[in-house]
């Protein structure tokens, strides 16, 4: 599985503002296949665990608040070189620094509400995908 999957979240605001379809369209157009997907509303406990890597950062609790403020869409995406290619497709964390044509440039509102998450390594992609989905080896 390693190397050809990544994990994404379409975050609150992007979901409530009706951007799920357009974002998925960009993902498809860029050559990713959706291996698994569902919509859910994170609990504070789940968000704290999912973002535990950031627990010492000043924005941690703000991030947890934001990510639990509304429904999200989580998905596992498949493509060769998935992690790196998806990070390029989403663009910089800060939408003001994101390149033209990236998902964050088009749909993010701020650093906090930056439309999408994308795994930053194969190890994290596997952890994050397994956090929400089981039996991924079947896809």
Instruction: State the catalytic residues.
Output: 117
Angle subtended at Cα 124 by Cα 118 and Cα 125, rounded to the nearest 5 degrees: 55
Instruction: Single out the segment in contact with ligand GDP by CB under 6 A; choices: 41-49, 71-79, 109-117, 122-130.
Output: 109-117
User: Which parts of 1-121 fold into alpha helices (H)?
Assistant: 20-29, 44-50, 60-67, 82-90, 103-107
For ligand GDP, the binding residue among 33, 88, 105, 112 (CB under 6 A) is 112
Q: In whole angstroms, what is the distance from residue 94 CA to residue 78 CA?
A: 25
Q: In whole angstroms, what is the distance from residue 136 CA to residue 92 CA?
A: 28
Give me 35's structure tokens: 């291996």
For ligand GDP, the binding residue among 1, 20, 61, 111 (CB under 6 A) is 111
**Rule CB under 6 A: is residue 120 a binding residue for ligand GDP?**
yes
Size of the site for ligand GDP (CB under 6 A): 9
For ligand GDP, the binding residue among 16, 43, 81, 93 (CB under 6 A) is 93
**Rule CB under 6 A: is residue 34 a binding residue for ligand GDP?**
no
């Amino acid at each position: 599985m390693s190397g050809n999957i990544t994990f994404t979240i379409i975050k609150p605001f992007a979901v409530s503002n009706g951007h799920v379809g357009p974002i998925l369209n960009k993902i498809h157009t860029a050559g990713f296949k959706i291996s698994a997907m569902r919509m859910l509303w994170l609990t504070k406990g789940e968000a704290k665990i999912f973002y535990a890597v950031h627990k010492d950062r000043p924005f941690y609790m703000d991030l947890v608040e934001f990510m639990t403020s509304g429904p999200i869409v989580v998905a596992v995406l498949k493509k060769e070189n998935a992690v790196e290619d998806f990070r390029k497709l989403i663009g910089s964390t800060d939408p003001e620094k994101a390149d033209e044509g990236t998902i964050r440039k088009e749909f993010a509102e701020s650093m906090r509400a930056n439309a999408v998450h994308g795994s930053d390594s194969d190890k994290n992609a596997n952890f994050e995908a397994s956090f929400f989905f089981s039996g991924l080896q079947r896809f």
